[in-house]
Chains A and B, each alone.
Chain A
Amino acid sequence: MVLVYSDDKKLMLELLNKAGELAKNLGKKVNAVVIGKNDNLAQEYLTYGADNVIVVETDLKDFKVEEYTEYLEKTIKETGAETILIGSNKNGKELASRLAGKLNAGCVIDVNNVYVKDKKLVTERIVYSGNAIAVEQFNSKPEIVTIPPKVFEPHPGGANPKGEVVKKKFNVEKYASKILKIQEMQTGDVNVEDAEIIVSCGRGFKNKDDIKLAEELADVLKGKTIGCSRPIAADLKWLSEDHWIGLSGHKVKPKLYIAAGISGQIQHIAGMRESGIIVAINKDPEALIFKSADYGIVGDLYEVLPKLTAAVKEKTQ
């Protein structure tokens, strides 16, 4: 059986689509797991390709990895699930890894592809910060794989519900850890993955307000989307996490990517190397970013960006 879990519905639909394909190749069924009472969601998953949905009841208000791992561990033991697909957000990654530790199972995090070859489950993932793709094969079960958002198309839905919703309640160990506070961070509601043109900001920007120079350029390029390097989002918090591009951030492939005041460390490149045309603006002629760019301007972004904005505006009017 292929077992599918994510706390993110959108991601869940993508996993269900892939799970259906794998299950077909393996001659197996797809079981979706919902943790916490949510009958509507459970019913809905039946129309998105899940053969059955298992609802695990819990008293916990929020995701807590130790207990959630036990819920999944018990579900897997009870159902005999062999292939486990988990949505690769931060919760999913630590959940999958902990689960793998408990089950002594193989686990591959953040795959770009997963398929069955010679009756074995095979995954592909990016390693060495984008320098290579590792093709890996499982040689024992259960197999745990985490899949990031937008790697696979979502299930189109509208399937005829075949199976049923099964409710479970497990007694789990009480762990010596607890959540004290959850604070929602502001998001910018941007979707860098879908953007066709991105103007991206790095530490070359001196103040939060100056980001508007990038926004103005993005506007005249009719791209509107801005992105940033890790320090701008993680250290300085000038832009929200959804703008963050790179190995540990979002992976983007716009037609045009303009990197302004970004040094071009490989961890940043890892997030944007599949872009169509890459343009770099940096005042340091030796900056690494020029090696990863199609076009570059050596200059102060405070001078270049306004001039570029004006020139693009003139050209496109």
Chain B
Amino acid sequence: MNIIVCAKQVVDVSEMKIDPNTKKPILDGVPQKISDIDKNAMEEALKIKEKHGGKITVLTVGPSDAKERVKELLAMGADEGVIVTPPEKHDYYVVTSLLAEAIKKIGNYDIVLCGEASIDLFSGQVGPRLAGLLNIPQITYAQKIDAEKDKVIADRDMGDKAVTVESSYPVVITVTKEINEPRLPSLMQILAAANKPINEWNGDSLASGLTSIVDTVELKGVSMERKNIVFKDDIDESVKQLVESLVKEGLLR
């Protein structure tokens, strides 16, 4: 079974700050990481490989410095990494087109795994968009995957419904955070990952002249000011003070 895991390097949104003067979010210098749910996608790929054998390729569209992050997934157990560097102006159209071209170049694949959504942009667009572009079936929000030899059965978490579906290969599957607990690589695995291949492909060489359709014209920071009054002594006293505060706020009547 050949599996491609699409993983994205993102800024750690919990570490972001807003510039008090410009009111814009500060993106420079924020720590980068692999988008959380992409690790669940990776874990699921490993489970499928453990059952059927095959090869796992990690694919990311992003800057060269994503290499360090891709190594984390190689340490978890992926066989190979591919980094496609996009043109400066890129949107979902550009990123997904590059993913599709890279997937065609990788060639033989049965399953493309994505996260249900990325932690920074949170669209859930790439998985189904890619399936549309490749014109293959898609299974989104998978909370359980049962990969058999020539078909896959998955349970989808649709909120008010649980939907069980079946598809042949190739197929794009997006996974939820709840599907599994991503493994932590051992020190040995981390060291061994250094020897696994990471290929870097230039986006332009995969598909030349791609340019974005949707342009970000402005990024407005949203800050949240709160009173941050914390009562931490005796519980009875804290409760009393909280109730008094709520009365003052006009919230109790």
Contacts known (A101-B130, A131-B25, A241-B160); A291 close to B239, Cβ less than 8 A = no
Check if B159 sits within 8 Å of A293, measured CB to CB. Answer: no
Interface Cβ pair total, 8 Å cutoff: 266
Contact of A315 among B221, B222, B252 (CB under 8 A): B252
Check if A101 sits within 8 Å of B215, measured CB to CB. Answer: no
User: B214-253 vs A: 1/0 string, CB under 8 Å?
Assistant: 1111111110101111111001101110110111010111
Contacts known (A129-B122, A184-B161, A292-B224); A107 close to B242, Cβ less than 8 A = no
Residue B167, interface by CB 8 Å: yes
Check if B214 sits within 8 Å of A137, measured CB to CB. Answer: yes
Residue A248, interface by CB 8 Å: yes
- Kindly state the separation between the CA atoms of A269 and B14 in the bound complex, as whole angstroms: 10
Give the number of residues in B that approach A within 8 Å (Cβ atoms): 86
Interface hits, B116-166 → A, CB 8 Å: 116-117, 119-135, 137-141, 153, 157-166
Interface hits, A95-120 → B, CB 8 Å: 95-102, 104-110
Check if B11 sits within 8 Å of A179, measured CB to CB. Answer: no
Residue B68, interface by CB 8 Å: no
Check if B123 sits within 8 Å of A110, measured CB to CB. Answer: yes
Interface hits, B181-203 → A, CB 8 Å: none
Residue B176, interface by CB 8 Å: yes
Contacts known (A100-B92, A266-B14); A256 close to B228, Cβ less than 8 A = no
Residue B67, interface by CB 8 Å: no
Check if A108 sits within 8 Å of B214, measured CB to CB. Answer: yes
Check if B243 sits within 8 Å of A298, measured CB to CB. Answer: no
CB of A70 to closest CB in B, whole Å: 10
Contacts known (A101-B133, A292-B226, A295-B242); A139 close to B213, Cβ less than 8 A = yes
Residue B79, interface by CB 8 Å: no
Residues of the A chain whose Cβ atoms lie less than 8 Å from the Cβ of B222: 126, 130-133, 273
Q: What is A's interface to B at a CB cutoff of 8 Å?
A: 65-66, 69, 90-91, 93-102, 104-110, 122, 126-140, 175-185, 187, 197, 221, 230, 234-235, 240-242, 247-248, 255-256, 265-267, 269, 273, 276-279, 285, 290-299, 303-304, 307-308, 311-312, 315-316
Contact of A100 among B14, B24, B125 (CB under 8 A): B125
- Kindly state the separation between the CA atoms of A256 and B245 in the bound complex, as whole angstroms: 12
CB of B28 to closest CB in A, whole Å: 14
CB of B133 to closest CB in A, whole Å: 4
Check if A178 sits within 8 Å of B245, measured CB to CB. Answer: no
CB of A218 to closest CB in B, whole Å: 13
CB of B204 to closest CB in A, whole Å: 18
Check if B140 sits within 8 Å of A135, measured CB to CB. Answer: no
| Subset of 30 A-B contacts with CB under 8 Å | A93-B128, A94-B128, A97-B125, A97-B127, A100-B93, A101-B129, A101-B130, A102-B132, A104-B93, A105-B213, A109-B123, A127-B122, A127-B219, A129-B14, A131-B222, A135-B216, A136-B216, A176-B168, A177-B171, A182-B163, A183-B164, A184-B161, A221-B252, A248-B116, A273-B224, A295-B230, A296-B231, A297-B232, A298-B238, A315-B252
